[in-house]
Structures are given as structure tokens and as C-alpha cells.
Structure 1
Amino acid sequence: MVESQNNRKPPTELYLLRPDRVEIVPGRNNVPYIYRYTINNNGYDFKVDKLTGRSAVLHLKTFNPLNDWYGLSPIEAAAYSIDQHNQAGAWNQAMLQNGARPSGAIVVKSAKDGSGGSLSQEQYQRLKEQINDHYSGSVNAGRPILLEGGLEWKEMSLSPRDMDFIESKHSSARDIALAFGVPPQLLGIPGDNTYSNLVEARLSLWEQTVLPTLENIICHLNSWLTPKFGEDLCLSYDKDAIEILMEKRQKLWKYVENASFMTLNEKREAFGLPPLPGGDELG
């Protein structure tokens, strides 16, 4: 994320930079020296203050145990599962184009005296072209094949294990979702979700993924951006406006309301409300 450069005034715009175009030039003091953004063979350098470490670029990254400068993307962590999911889709497409089974085999029968059993090169090429032109692909699915004398069609089918590409896709989809912190129950995979665990999964998504990510972004913005507008400012969000958290919040309110060991002002302070006169005594 980069601000529109104007050192005399607070920034008026923020731009999201493509991570693959950003290069970090390390400095000698173990902090970035320059953020270099390259596009169309043109490089734009954003220097980093040696004393404060501040720059016009805000680098938000996830933890990477293998690199000191660049974060580890969830896509990179789930790369194998993504490849498996794509390959399962390609397998599915290829199977559909072939009628969900191999074409089978055309066997040349031998004569009773043992002669025959093979085709000439010309016969082989003609038969191959005939099959490709008239009997392959989804358009020709189900069309009966006409065989000449001495040729026999042998059906070839896949085992149920080989055909289980759907479960392979579902397994890969679960791994990809977990890499991004999304409960697999929200993917709509048959058998994974009921009404009760779907509600719990939505709550888990907010509490364990969305809100921590939001807190991380706001924390960085409060350190990097808001001081440019004033020292007494703080960026925050309205947690009470999140619908999925309302039921849990109502249970907390009811618990605090019925707490006989807390004074009225202690209860109000727990919810960010100002104290009231005479509210410091237990009722």
C-alpha cells in the first residue's frame, strides 16, 4: 500500500501495489532500504527513513519462516492443493469429453487357421481417422460404431476408485479453504454442513479470520497513516454492527446484567459507557 507522495500535506489517496511488482532492496541495518515498484520496465523507488523506518509504502505481510523480507501468501501455502483441484477439474473435463470412460479397444480377430490378427499401415491409418472424425468427443457420444469384418470392440472401463475425482476436488477445496482461514463447512460440500455447524462456522470465520485480519490492518494504519492527520486520532471499526456477533454479545450483556458482584458503573465501563452518579455502590 502506497500513499500519494506529498510530504507537506496528509495523503489524500492510497494505492494497492501488486506484490509481484514490488522488490525490497535490503539495507545494512536489517531494515528495507528501498521499495522498488517496477511496471513496463520502469522502476519507481520509495526510500525508507533510516532512523524511523517509515516510508511512503506500508508493507503488510504474513509470517514467512523462510524469508526475512517477503511474507508467505496463503496461495503459496496451498499451492499443491490448488494444483490438485485444477487437475481434478481437468480430469473431469477430459472424462466428460470421452463419455466418462476410455474409448475402449478395437481388437483384430485372428482367423481359425491363425492368420490375420493385424492391420496394414493403410488400414490402421484409415481406421484411426474414422474414429477421430466420427466417434470421438462429446458431440459424438453414444453414436454406434461400425466395424468391418475381423474387428471387435472391447469395452474398457475405469474402477470406482479411478472415477472418484469429485472426492479429490472436495478434499483439495477443504485444504485451500483452511489455508485462507475459511471453515470448510462454508464451501457447500455435501455432507459437511448442517444448520447448527454452519452457524458455528460463520462465527468462527469472523472471530478467527476476519476480525484478526482487520485488527492487524487497523493496527498498522494507526501507526503509519493516522499520525499524519493528528496525534489524537485513532482508526477503529464498529464491532457492534456485525450481525453474526450479535447473539454472542447479547449473552454477554445478559451475563453482566445479572452479575450481582459488579456495581452499575463497573457494568457500564465493561461496555464503554460513561459512569453515572451514585453508580459505584452495590445494589
Structure 2
Amino acid sequence: MFETLRARLFARAAPRPEEAKASRTAPLIAMQAQGRAVWSPRDAASLAREGYMKNAVVYRAVTMIAESAASVPFLAYQAAAEKPDHPLLALFADPNRRQSGTAFFETLYANLLTAGNAYAELVMLGGQPAELHALRPDRVKVVPGADGWPEAFDYTVGGATVRFHDPGAGGIAPVLQLRLHHPLDDHYGFAPIEAAAMALDIHNAAGAWNKALLDNSARPSGALVYRGEGGATLSAEQFERLKAELETNYTGSVKAGRPLLLEGGLDWTSMALTPRDMDFLEAKNGAAREIALAFGIPPMLLGIPGDNTYSNYAEANRVFWRQTVLPLVGRTAAAMATWLGPAYGGAVRLTYDGDAVDALAAERESLWRRLEAASFLTRDEKREAVGYGPDGESEAKAGSASWTS
């Protein structure tokens, strides 16, 4: 017994495995569907059909944001130096043979806003990025690995599937996923259309009701009541004749508004609520405002009446650019730099050129005036405050003054 106890006390401890950084919650995520495609909890194709393709407010909101964001040019930096001739900017300007840079990023932003997810495929040639392609979100499925994070993406078309594998540390992933925050999903984003789903249904239902009203406006919304003596009712022949007469003479948009000619004993009783009773227009405009709110667009810019949040159109447009467009461009630039940076040495920082946005010209002029009046700042400090590097004049003057003294 003593020898056994002694062996336990003085036994050499087993070598500890090499430590690796990993989330303690990742295995719980991985247990759900390791190695299998995780399907999106909502149908991205249905969101696109019911929202973008059938609703004018959603279409305009998505198009407005995507076109505005795609028009903002990128700036590339290595350390503190701007690199206007960086090859990554050339790739963004000409991503593939079928799309210009503006068209590629417009597609990418539109996919992100419509489905909550956007995917970009990278094509390498000679060890360097050669092409970028935007993938349809409804065709891409995430494949989680043992650590819970995506290890591959499945792209399915017509029953055929291509799997893009993550090369791991040190490699460049063939697919980049951009996603909007989803509080209840680990792999997919949350589309603005989903947040405004109820408002979208109301707006679409209002349009359908209006269309049906035009198609059937001559069909009375009420009841024909026969008030015969002694409780008498219409015979089967009389009923069929009355029904045929209504179908022939009072149905269709051409016959809209034609008055009913009622015979003895027949009385018209209206049973429908008028658009005024239903507050029809206000309900539709309220739904449109809610859709615009979900996308981050001031309703004034979409021509939706009843919104007086901003004093004028220019102010609403500045808010749109500052709070919606530029944050979207900024997060995309950061994701692209992280994704493609290793192909260019890893020391690439991407940002956007806010000076190229005409809608913010008034803000720039105001800033420049304030800086010009700031006598306590040097010329180079003023340039740095607006995002420009030193021009060398201050250093030259300082060097000249030192040499003279």
C-alpha cells in the first residue's frame, strides 16, 4: 500500500496538451449539425418575391440604399500611407468580366438587404485574387465545423452542389459571408424585410384590395333583400334570372357605377365599409413608413406623406447617408480588408471616401470653415483633421527657420 501511495505522489504528471484558443460555447453550437448544411429558418426566395418584387416601397428602399452605397469609392491604406494604385482597388473596379465594380457591389448590397446575407466568391489565379463574383443567397447553405463556425459553404443549382471549403489559418477563404445581426441564429443574418413583415403584408393587402375593387367595382357590396308580402320568397327561376342579370349588367370595370334597377319587393342593403371608414389610405401610408423605418430611410425620401421628422429634404438626405449608407459601406470595407488582406501581405486597411459624396458637401464646407478659423492648429494638423496627409510645407518652413537661426 505504501509503495502504491508513493508511486501516486511522485509519479510524473502526464504532459499537458498544447493550449489553443477556442470559445467554450462553440461545441454546443457544433452539436446541432456538424458537417451538414444549416438551412435558413426563413425562405430568402419568398422574401425577395413578396417584398422586393411585389412591393414598391421595399423595391425602392433596397435599390436606393444599394445604388448609393455602391457609388461610394474605397480608399486603401498601408500603415498610414494612402495607396491609390493598390491592386485591391483595381480588383474592386473590375471584379469580373460580366460586371463593373459598381454593379458587383450593388448586387452584394441588395442581397444583404433582401436576404440578410450576402456572399462573394473569390477566384484565385497564380496565387493572387483575380475575380470576385456575387452569389445568390437562396442557393448558399452554411456548413458548420466541429468548432461551430462555418467550415464550408454549399452552393446548389438545379440539384448539383459545389462545396467551398475554408482553407483554415493562413489561407484565404473562397467565399465571404456578409450578414446582418440575427439575435437567434448562429449562421444566418436577419433581413430588414423580416422585421417589417407585418407592415409588408398590410401594404400588399391594401394594394390587392384596391385591385379587386377596380376589377369588381360594379358588383354591389351588399345584399338584395326581397320584401314580399306575407313572408314570400323568390322562386328558383326568379333567383337565377336575378343572378344572371347582375352578372351580365353590373360586373366589370366598364360597367362601374351603373345604378341598380330594382323591381317591386327588392331592396338594396349596403354591407361594406367605405375606405374612409377603414382609414384605408392612412393604414397603407403607416405600413409604408414602418417599412422605410426598418431599412433606415427617412419616409420623406420615398415620397410617403405624413412624415415631418426633418425640416427639409436635404436634411433627411444627410441623415440617410450618415446613418444608413456610410455605416454599410464601412462594415463592408472592413470585411473585405480582413478577407483579402492576406493576399497582399496582410497590412491593408480599407475605408470609404466620404469627400466623394455630394450629399455631404454642406457638412464638408462647414468643417473646412471651422478649421480655417482655428489659428491654434498648424496647416498639417488641419489637413489631418479632414483625412489628408501632410503636404510638407510646414516641415520645410520649420527646417528653414531652424537653419536661419
| 1:76 corresponds to | 194
1:234-273 equivalences in 2 (<5 Å): 234-271=349-386, 272-273=388-389
> Which of residues 232, 237, 250 is equivalent to 1:122?
237
State the identity %.
Answer: 49
Matched, 1:41 2:41: no
Bigger Cα displacement from structure 2, 11-20 vs 157-166: 157-166
Give the gaps of 5 or more residues in structure 1.
none
Bigger Cα displacement from structure 2, 157-166 vs 121-130: 157-166
Deviation for aligned residue 1:4 = 4.6
Bigger Cα displacement from structure 2, 247-256 vs 101-110: 101-110
Deviation for aligned residue 1:106 = 1.4
Is the Cα–Cα contact under 8 Å of residues 222 and 235 in structure 1 kept in the other structure? yes
Deviation for aligned residue 1:233 = 4.6
Deviation for aligned residue 1:147 = 2.9
| Aligned counterparts of 1:30 and 1:167: Cα–Cα separation in 2 | 47
Matched, 1:31 2:146: no
1:66-145 equivalences in 2 (<5 Å): 66-99=184-217, 102-111=220-229, 114-116=230-232, 118-145=233-260
| Aligned counterparts of 1:26 and 1:236: Cα–Cα separation in 2 | 30
Change over 3 Å in CA distance of 1:129–1:229 after alignment to 2: farther
Bigger Cα displacement from structure 2, 125-134 vs 30-39: 125-134
| 1:9 corresponds to | 127
Is the Cα–Cα contact under 8 Å of residues 3 and 11 in structure 1 kept in the other structure? no
| Aligned counterparts of 1:134 and 1:34: Cα–Cα separation in 2 | 64
Deviation for aligned residue 1:54 = 4.5
Deviation for aligned residue 1:46 = 0.4
| Aligned counterparts of 2:171 and 2:243: Cα–Cα separation in 1 | 69
| Aligned counterparts of 1:76 and 1:100: Cα–Cα separation in 2 | 37
- Opposite residue 278 of structure 1, the aligned amino acid is K
Change over 3 Å in CA distance of 1:71–1:194 after alignment to 2: closer
| Aligned counterparts of 1:50 and 1:230: Cα–Cα separation in 2 | 17
Matched, 1:149 2:261: no
- Opposite residue 178 of structure 2, the aligned amino acid is L
Is the Cα–Cα contact under 8 Å of residues 222 and 270 in structure 2 kept in the other structure? yes
Matched, 1:205 2:343: no
Deviation for aligned residue 1:115 = 4.5
| 2:77 corresponds to | none
> Which of residues 47, 50, 53 is equivalent to 2:168?
50
| Aligned counterparts of 2:254 and 2:235: Cα–Cα separation in 1 | 30
Is the Cα–Cα contact under 8 Å of residues 106 and 153 in structure 1 kept in the other structure? yes
| Cα displacement string for residues 119-168 of structure 1 (whole angstroms, at most 9, x for unaligned residues) | 12332223122212220232211223333332233345525554422111
Q: Secondary structure at the match of 1:12?
A: strand
More strand by share: 2
| Aligned counterparts of 2:145 and 2:338: Cα–Cα separation in 1 | 22
More helix by share: 2
Change over 3 Å in CA distance of 1:228–1:119 after alignment to 2: same
| 2:8 corresponds to | none
| 2:304 corresponds to | 189
Is the Cα–Cα contact under 8 Å of residues 121 and 135 in structure 2 kept in the other structure? no
| Cα displacement string for residues 3-52 of structure 1 (whole angstroms, at most 9, x for unaligned residues) | 35436332322111111111111111121121001110111100013335
| Aligned counterparts of 1:53 and 1:119: Cα–Cα separation in 2 | 83
Change over 3 Å in CA distance of 1:115–1:32 after alignment to 2: closer
- Opposite residue 106 of structure 1, the aligned amino acid is L
| Aligned counterparts of 2:359 and 2:287: Cα–Cα separation in 1 | 28
| Aligned counterparts of 1:175 and 1:279: Cα–Cα separation in 2 | 58
Give the gaps of 5 or more residues in structure 2.
1-118
Bigger Cα displacement from structure 2, 140-149 vs 271-280: 271-280
Bigger Cα displacement from structure 2, 249-258 vs 9-18: 9-18
User: CA-atom RMSD, angstroms?
Assistant: 2.6
